[in-house]
Amino acid sequence: MDKFHYEEMSESIAAIEKDNILNGKVIYTFGHCNATEELIDLLKEHGYQVFAIMDNNVSKQGTYYNDIPIIPPDVILREKIPTIVLIVARAYEAMAAQLRNLGYKGEIKKLVEYNSFSEYSLSADTIKRKYERVQRGMSMLEKLKNKYQYCFRFLCPFSALGDVFYAMSYLPYFLEKRNIKKYVVCVVGKGCYDVVKMFGHKSVENLAQNNMDEIIQAELYTNDNQSFILHHDRPYVINLNKALYTKMIPLEVMCRSGIYGLPQDTIPCKPTHLQVYPKLDELKKGKSLIVSPYAKSVTNIPMSYWECVIAEYKQKGYDIFTSAVGTEKTLQGTKRIEVPLAEMQSVVEYAGAFIGLRSGLCDVIKYANCNKTALYPDRCYSDTKWKMKEIYYLDGWDNIVIEQE
């Protein structure tokens, strides 16, 4: 979960604590994902224990997160004591609708606004608010058009490094296909901005998430054909992810063939504007290991695994560095290293080895010339039957699945 949404989640919990909403209730969550795990951990810090995680994915049911069982949603109906369902997953509206359709009458609380596109209501008030949202979007869109006159607009709706990396890898072919000469790439967050710059694109606009959402909605509402949305499942109008219920399609292929409609043999472009980390001499050349234990889209792997890796490499005489940003913790027994994205490839190549939880950072250093290992939890992608490793597989890497404890 990114910092912005984590803070929003923390504020939501503080608000429901203040209103005593959780007292005397059995707490359930819905949708097992990285965000839900962070919610559970945060609730524990506040002295609350989650009873169970509901999930529609049959392959996840019967497994556990920190002794908390993952169960089918209808199990909550058997509860005799008052319950509350806390949701931080993206598909809040669909989850709430499912619970109500099952006959669940207890409280359902959305703790994070991940998806301002959706509200399952046709009340006059909802339509009025949503139209006002579109108006705000149209106003921001006009400003964007004035700033980048006669430019085609590419919109990366989600703050995910990997999504943006793949989008940029195939963008040149799309520019040629559509004969686009002048364009701007709009992203959310500095990290995604830096990824776009790594590919040499000159016009890049960094938007706040809510502004991006509203601009996208305005683009859809006005059917403006001078824009293109670069994502496989956001917003709701995009149906590419439906294919995953019948066929395994890796993320890169979703981008190349699904988003852009490019042939299967299209070769991705590599970043052209990488830089060299100025403090490489702080690393032991060829005998350093960079570890990256954090990811937004995949759930964590046991800390014991990292402890084993660190011990093993130390015994081999390696210096070990944790690649971390902001409030991310440095793993015990390692040194912290914070590297701009464009310089990361130089660091891992100099170091000689990289081991990371599968994340967008792995995509950023995809082509680095070093020993590269991507770690995957033994989980399925979203509510599909495909494993994370299948969807996010990286060619030229060791792709290793770590069993949950």
Selection from 145, 147, 89 nearest residue 118 by Cα: 89
17, 79, 119, 319: residue in contact with another protein (rule CB under 8 A): 119
70, 88, 204, 259: residue in contact with another protein (rule CB under 8 A): 259
Calculate the dihedral angle through the C-alpha atoms of 95, 134, 4, 387, rounding to the nearest 10 degrees. Answer: 40
Sheet with 335-337, side-by-side order of all strands: 335-337, 319-323, 288-292, 352-357, 371-377, 398-402
Listed in sequence order, the DSSP H helices in 239-331 are 251-253, 303-315
Nearer to another protein, 264 or 327 (CB): 264
Q: What angle do CA 239, 165, 340 make, to 5 degrees?
A: 145
20, 146, 225, 272: residue in contact with another protein (rule CB under 8 A): 225
Contacting residues for 308 by C-beta, under 8 A, at least 6 apart: none
What is the smallest separation between the CB atom of 155 and another protein, expressed in angstroms? 9
Question: Whose structure tokens read 């007292």?
Answer: 23
Position 224 contacts another protein (CB under 8 A):
yes
What is the smallest separation between the CB atom of 65 and another protein, expressed in angstroms? 26
- Touching another protein, residues 89-118 (CB under 8 A): 93-94, 97, 117-118
Nearer to another protein, 213 or 349 (CB): 213
Nearer to another protein, 64 or 245 (CB): 245
β-bridge pairing 227-229 and 288-292: unpaired
| Measured CA distances, 258 to 115, 153, 196, 202, 254 (Å) | 22, 19, 20, 25, 5
Nearer to another protein, 24 or 263 (CB): 263
Position 139 contacts another protein (CB under 8 A):
no
Nearer to another protein, 217 or 359 (CB): 217
Q: How far apart are CA 86 and CA 261, in angstroms?
A: 38
What is the smallest separation between the CB atom of 117 and another protein, expressed in angstroms? 5
Residues lying near another protein in the complex (CB under 8 A) are found at: 93-94, 97, 117-124, 126-127, 130-131, 133-135, 138, 217, 219-225, 227-229, 231-232, 235-240, 242-243, 245-247, 249, 253, 257-264
